[in-house]
Structure 1
Amino acid sequence: MSSYSTVKTLTVDATNGINYAYRSVGTDTDAPPLVLLQHFRGNLDNWDPALVDALAQGRRVITFDSRGVAATTGSTPHTIAAMAEDAVDFIAALGLSRVDLLGFSIGSFVAQEVALLRPDLVNRIVLASAAPQGASGMHGWAPDIIEAVGGEVPSAEGYLRVFFTTTEAGQAAGQAVLGRVFGGRSEGHDVPTTWATRLAQYDAVAHWGIPNHSLLERLRAITQPVFIANGDSDRMILPRYSYLLAGLLPDAEIKIYPDAAHGFLFQYHEEFAADVDAFLRN
């Protein structure tokens, strides 16, 4: 099996006129392909290759740059709903009729919308560091969080501060992830995301977080099995939103990983991949 660190970036043209950059690892099996939806400001290179390779044992795993992000053409949408329509267009361009979704951070918002927009397309859903639309306290991020990850030039220091705990174990895990994410690929790097993408995605985050408790009822329509996961110390999207999601979704299970923050799925890549695999195979 090819590794995410060496697999080539491919492109596909969709009926919406967008040319999407994507990568595919693993092999086609009876299991639906697993499509990954990326975090705020992330591109293809920001997925931990160790996690992607572990997820790709026994199934095909697909990552992609959504519209206007990095190497994909077009302009980045300013709403989660538009991002979900964009994800559906990409999946259709690949000729896929049934997929599993793994949405991380802002990608978890998109995954929820895809399931609501096109329920027949989605088999099972994994929501990592997730929150429902309209939940109180989600209207933007704390000033120190957006300062760390929302500046004009992203930094390793800001990444470590938000994605990992300040404990010795947390920082050691963060350094290991930095080495894999930013040092694992020697050639064929993705295009960096732009300031326009950052602004559009934060607009989408803010709109998603406008308090409106009536929107929480929308989750009742997501009848697919859902696995919800987070780190116990995630300050970017607090673990309480994972519990809120688990209580609102008709068929959900939840796991919180210890001494972990926003990057828990990279920190615990082996355990998380095993948990995801068990959930998808259930």
Structure 2
Amino acid sequence: MQRLYSEIPNRVVTASNRVDYAYRDTDGRDGEIPLVLLQHFRGNLDYWDPALIDALSGSRRVITFDNVGVGGTSGATPDTVGQMARDAIAFVGALGLDEVDLLGFSIGSFVAQEIAFHRPALVRRLVLASSAPKGAAGMHGWSPDVIGAIGGPQTTPEQYLGVFFAPSQASQQAGRGVLGRMSSRNGNRDAMTDWATREAQYDAVCAWGVPDHSALQRLAALRMPVFVANGDSDPMILPHYSHLLGGLIPHARVKIYPDAAHGFLFQHHTEFAADVTDFLG
């Protein structure tokens, strides 16, 4: 019987880098390739929409985790995407996994790309949600209104809705539903991310976005199938970066979801989960 994400307990595993990783695991059948999720800027285990995880885990094992220094995981958050990728590889190794599918969201999609470059044999298929390639022009930091909304010490529900969902009534209503689902877990909630994590992650985002045309060429090295997706109104990572990724990665498909922003995968969780399941299958 499938377990709901809101009811899955937090677990801890110690990796070879001596970090204690907080994670949640829907479990699955022996021999099944799990789907490992990498979270967005300042997000922890409770910032995944339970409806999305439940939809994804209907047909496969899904694992969410906090990378180093984030939420309930020990250590200090690194300030480079490359180190975040090596830390994530250590976590996967601690679970004894030799091959995984990856779904990276926002900064998690940057980390997922780096994992695929560093350890290509580990990644069977790759999903990049609200993503951009390293070195793309215009990605050197976020716009003042975006960083003002989600980069301060506290983010209000209205600020979250303004970045993660489109201005339309339908999208905003969907966003309020997402917030309600995220807060539905009654106990054993994850630790909140701190300011040091915010600073380190934003440093990593800015370094990722330094214009570098040569960095774009390395995407040709990704030989696994890749699914790239975003909302059509994302103010944080503009959807044209999805098309750029799709044009540079040899085996990529791109989908842009309508009337949606950075949190398109939560707003359209049923459709997105079906698309991901079809792609991974």
- Normalising by structure 2, report the TM-score: 0.99
Q: Does the 8 Å CA contact 1:26/1:57 hold for their aligned counterparts?
A: no
> What is the Cα deviation at residue 24 of structure 1?
0.5
Q: Distance in 2 between matches of 1:30 and 1:129?
A: 30
Q: How does 1:36-185 map to 2 (within 5 A)?
A: 36-182=37-183, 184-185=184-185
> What is the Cα deviation at residue 57 of structure 1?
1.2
Q: Deviations over 1:155-190 (max 9, x none)?
A: 2111100000111101101111010012x2011100
Counterpart AA for 1:272: F
Structure 1, unpaired ranges of 5+: none
Q: Deviations over 1:232-263 (max 9, x none)?
A: 00010000000000000010001000000000
Q: Distance in 1 between matches of 2:30 and 2:49?
A: 23
Counterpart AA for 1:238: L
> What is the Cα deviation at residue 99 of structure 1?
0.1
Counterpart AA for 2:181: R
Q: Does the 8 Å CA contact 1:34/1:100 hold for their aligned counterparts?
A: yes
Q: Deviations over 1:73-132 (max 9, x none)?
A: 000000000000000000000000000000000000000000000000000000000000
Q: Distance in 1 between matches of 2:141 and 2:105?
A: 17
Q: Distance in 2 between matches of 1:31 and 1:72?
A: 26
Determine if the alignment matches structure 1 residue 227 to structure 2 residue 227.
yes
> What is the Cα deviation at residue 31 of structure 1?
3.6
> What is the Cα deviation at residue 154 of structure 1?
2.1
Match of 1:265 in 2: 265
- The count of residues paired between Structure 1 and Structure 2 equals 280
Q: Distance in 2 between matches of 1:247 and 1:26?
A: 35
> What is the Cα deviation at residue 147 of structure 1?
0.4
Match of 2:237 in 1: 237
Q: Distance in 2 between matches of 1:91 and 1:266?
A: 25
Counterpart AA for 1:265: L
Match of 2:212 in 1: 212
Q: Does the 8 Å CA contact 1:136/1:209 hold for their aligned counterparts?
A: yes
Q: What secondary structure, in the 3-state scheme, does the structure 2 residue paired with 1:5 have?
A: helix
> What is the Cα deviation at residue 30 of structure 1?
4.5
Match of 2:9 in 1: 8
Q: Deviations over 1:43-82 (max 9, x none)?
A: 0000000000100112110000000001100000000000
Q: Deviations over 1:198-254 (max 9, x none)?
A: 000000000000000100011111100000000000010000000000000010001
Q: Distance in 2 between matches of 1:26 and 1:274?
A: 19
> What is the Cα deviation at residue 29 of structure 1?
5.2
> What is the Cα deviation at residue 26 of structure 1?
4.5
